[in-house]
Structure 1
Amino acid sequence: MIQPYTPDISLAGKLRRRLARLTHRRPAQLNLSRPVVSFTFDDIPASAAHAGAAALEKHDARGTFYVCAGLFGQEGHMGRFADTAEIGALIHQGHEVAGHTLNHVDCHRTSSADLCADLDANDAALRGLGAAPLHFAYPYGEVSPRAKKQLGARYASLRGVHKGLVHDGGDRNQLPGVGIEGLDGEAVARAWIDRALAQQAWLILYTHDVRESPSPWGCTPDALERLIAYARTVGCDIRTVGEVLGA
């Protein structure tokens, strides 16, 4: 059973993450003609691979799934994690499969050599399934200047968990993300969609499990589908992370 992990929530940890946002920046050129929302999923519990993907496909949209191959098929606090067949199905259905380390490691606390080995193994596993893991999300949102520099040289984008919108010139090495999680997750995400609409910006939403009784880090299928429908109704494009940055 995979157990929850507690990242560094100390003042020093908060200052380190904020300092990292000032270093090793790589500006994104977006040139958006309309506001955009990306729906992303971390770790990939099996429920996200099924209910999460189905909610997007119902609206002819696709998502970005940040995958830890070392968790394939294991049981955890967010339910069973997706296996190779389920990740392969996501790729076949046109979703984007991206990197999230092999074993969901803390990129700050992991040495450069160990992190490189972990990333090599995860990327190789994902490529073996037919994915091209060009993008990455920091597990737990944990980042440091050293890790950011190492990862930025390897991936086309790196997503964190600090709230915000992405505009032209935003840092693709530490993209913000807004969680669809907890009791007020849907309301928070909806408010951020409104902000993206008003500012014609890019919003990246993330969640984990997608099931009727979600973990504190997940959401229900109905909440996710309502957010997808709302983003469409108010005039936002829904694109994967790679589609936005590739454009």
Structure 2
Amino acid sequence: MQAYQADTSLLAKLRRRMVRGASRRRAVGSPGRPMVSFTFDDAPVSAARRGAELLEARGLKGAYYVSAGLAGTEGPMGRYADADDYRRLAAAGHEIGCHTYSHLDCGRAAGPAALAEAVRNAEQLEAWDIPFPATFAYPYGDVAAGPKAILAARFRLLRALHPGLVEKGCDLNQAPAVGIEGAEGEATARRWLDKAKARKAWLILYTHDVQDSPSQWGCTPAALAGLIDAAVEGGLEVVTVAEGARRLAG
């Protein structure tokens, strides 16, 4: 399966920058101490199993952003997890977050279409006995003004993919995140862990698959384990995204 690519045109880049000023919901609280969240987009089987194992072995929890319409199918990052995987993750205390049902690009969709997809996704998760998700991640990290405004009423936090830290005053409707992906993914994430520690801020890390030969959007188990250990040894508290958002909401 060929991976879909978000719009990379100049117009799209301008839209992404402009939408950051729309429908903002500022974090009124401050972390008070450095925090980090480990998140997995699209929930490939490798992330739902190997990624979870690495966190659970250390008594920690992550967040999985699920597109229920992809469950059990094959994708460019390998097979996606299914309902049994999601139930096990939820029972173990991991956060099951919301994508759009079919992985619809919120940068190219109208607000009502994005909302319908998010609601359908959440309803399917509930049908699998998984609680209604508290947070949402934009597929491909992209969003237009309409979807951002309409989804803000449904979720505690909406996560994007532009790099940065979550601090007091940050827009919780388009929260930044840093990817653990590609050849430099681990080194980049370690630099951001140092920044979060120095500023007592919250860092949200994301990846997709977790396997020895990862896709261009994933990472190896060794890289993920190294980052988890670096965070703990550096004194960063590992929290789910829902917990981090609860603290900064005031």
What is the TM-score of this pair, normalised by structure 2?
A: 0.96
Instruction: Work out the number of aligned pairs and report it.
Output: 246
Structure 2 stretches lacking a partner, 5+ long: none
Counterpart position of 1:122 = 121
Counterpart position of 2:174 = 174
Cα deviation, residue 24, structure 1: 0.6
Q: Answer yes or no: is the 8 Å Cα contact 2:209–2:218 preserved in 1.
A: yes
Counterpart position of 1:216 = 216
Cα separation, 2, equivalents of 1:221 and 1:156: 30
Cα separation, 2, equivalents of 1:3 and 1:105: 15
Q: Answer yes or no: is the 8 Å Cα contact 2:43–2:208 preserved in 1.
A: yes
Structure 1 stretches lacking a partner, 5+ long: none
Post-superposition CA distance 1:68-91 (Å, at most 9, x none) = 000000011100000000011000
Counterpart position of 1:164 = 164
Cα separation, 2, equivalents of 1:11 and 1:161: 18
**Which consecutive aligned stretches of 4+ in structure 1 deviate over 3 angstroms post-superposition?**
none
**Which residues in structure 2 correspond to 1:1-247 (within 5 Å)?**
2-129=1-128, 130-247=130-247
Cα separation, 1, equivalents of 2:135 and 2:228: 22
Q: Answer yes or no: is the 8 Å Cα contact 1:179–1:207 preserved in 2.
A: yes
Post-superposition CA distance 1:213-238 (Å, at most 9, x none) = 00000000110010000000011000
Cα deviation, residue 136, structure 1: 0.3
- Name the SS for the 2:169 alignment partner: coil
The letter for the 2-side match of 1:50 is R
Cα separation, 2, equivalents of 1:30 and 1:94: 24
- Name the SS for the 2:195 alignment partner: helix
What is the TM-score of this pair, normalised by structure 1?
A: 0.97
Cα deviation, residue 32, structure 1: 2.0
The letter for the 2-side match of 1:208 is H
- Name the SS for the 2:53 alignment partner: helix
Cα separation, 1, equivalents of 2:116 and 2:191: 40
Q: Answer yes or no: is the 8 Å Cα contact 1:180–1:206 preserved in 2.
A: yes
Cα separation, 2, equivalents of 1:30 and 1:226: 30
Cα deviation, residue 177, structure 1: 0.6
Identity, % of aligned positions:
50
Post-superposition CA distance 1:125-184 (Å, at most 9, x none) = 112222221100000011111111111122111000000011112110000010000001
Post-superposition CA distance 1:52-72 (Å, at most 9, x none) = 111111111101111000000
